[in-house]
Amino acid sequence: MTTTTDTVPSTGLRPRRSVLYMPGANERALEKAKGIPADALILDLEDAVAPDAKAGARANVCAAAQSGDYGHREIAIRVNSIGTEWHDDDLAAAAAAGPDAILVPKVDSADEVTRLEAALVAAKAPDHTKLWAMLETPNALLDARAIAAASARLTVLVLGTNDIAKELHAAQNAGRAELVPAITGCLIGARAAGKVIIDGVYNDIGDPEGFRAECVQGRDLGFDGKTLIHPSQVGPCNDVWAPTAEAVDDARELIATFDTAIAEGKGVVTYKGRMIENLHVDNARRVIAMADAIAAHG
C-alpha cells in the first residue's frame, strides 16, 4: 500500500490549498479523481451517499485509499458521524484501509475527539492515519480550541459552513458577513492549538467569480485551504492559495535585507520604506516554504 507523509520533509509544510470531496458511491468519480490536481481528496461516505449505498461506497473508498493510485494527493475518508448506524463500521473499515486521514463530521467536543482517538487505536489504524474533525455545530464553534488541542493525532480541522449556517439560522450571502464571526472563532482555536484549518465549501459551481472572491477571503482570513465540491473549483483555488513568483522574490529580498542589517549591527531595519522585524521574516519564510512544498508535490 502506498501512503503519503503528513508533511513535506524539506519544508515542514504540506499544501492543503484544494481539498475536494468525491462521492464514495461513484466509482467513475473516484477513477477521475486520479487526474485532478487537488492537494487532497476526501472520499465521502456521508452526505454524498444514499443510505442504501453506504456499504458499497465503503468498499469503494477503502479500495481506492489502498490502491496507491492517487500520487501525491493526500487521501482522507469521511465516515458517517458518531451515533449513526454506519459510524462504527465506517471507522473500522477506514482504519484498516490506512488512508492519510479519517475525517469525522459533526465533532461536538474534546471528549468525542478522545474517544475517536481511542477507537482508531482499538481498530489498529496505522500511525500515519491522522484524525481530521469537522466543526459544524454550535458546541463545536464554542469549543474549537479544546477540540483542536484534544489529541496530537488530530491534525486538521474542516469547517462545515453549510451546517454552521443552518444551525445558526444564518443567511449565506456574498461576503459571508453573517458567518465570519463564527468561522474566525474556529480559526483562532485552530491556531491556538497549532493545527491546520480548512475553509468550507462554496455551493454555486456556476459562479466562478463569487467562488474566487470567497477563496481570496478565506486565504486573507488565514485559512490553509478550502474544501471543494466540483473539479472545476480546483484550479482557481490552487491559484489563490499559492504564493506568486513575485511574492516569493519579495520574501527572499526581505529576508536578505533583514539578515544584512542584523549582521551590520543595525537596531532598526527597513525594507521598501517600512520597518520590519522577526515576525515579518517568519512570514516571509513561510511564503518560501509553502512555494517549495507546492513545487515538491508537482
- Give yes or no for a contact between 215 and 175, defined as CB atoms under 8 angstroms apart: no
Instruction: Please enumerate, as own/partner, the contacts of 252-256 that have beta carbons within 8 Å and a separation of 24 or more.
Output: 252/284, 252/288, 254/280, 254/281, 254/284, 255/281, 255/284, 255/285, 255/288
In the chain, what is the straight-line distance between the N-terminal and C-terminal CA atoms, in Å?
21
- Exposure b/e, 174-203, CB count within 10 A at least 16 = b: eebeebeebbeebbebbeebebbbbbbbbe
Tracing cell 465570519 back to the chain, one arrives at: 180
Query: What is the predicted pLDDT for the residue at 11?
Result: 46
Sorted by where each begins, the domain ranges of the chain are 18-241, 245-296
Which of 223, 62, 82, 71 is CA-nearest to residue 129? Answer: 62
Predicted pLDDT at 8 = 37
pLDDT of residue 12: 62
Give residue-wise pLDDT tens across range 26-58.
999 999 999 999 999 999 999 889 999 999 999
Tens-place pLDDT, residues 258-271:
999 999 999 899 99
Looking at every residue in the chain, the average pLDDT score rounds to 94
CATH code for the structural domain at 18-241 = 3.20.20.60
**The pLDDT value given to residue 7:** 38
Res 246: pLDDT: 97
- Low-confidence stretches of the chain (pLDDT beneath 50): 1-11
pLDDT of residue 31: 96
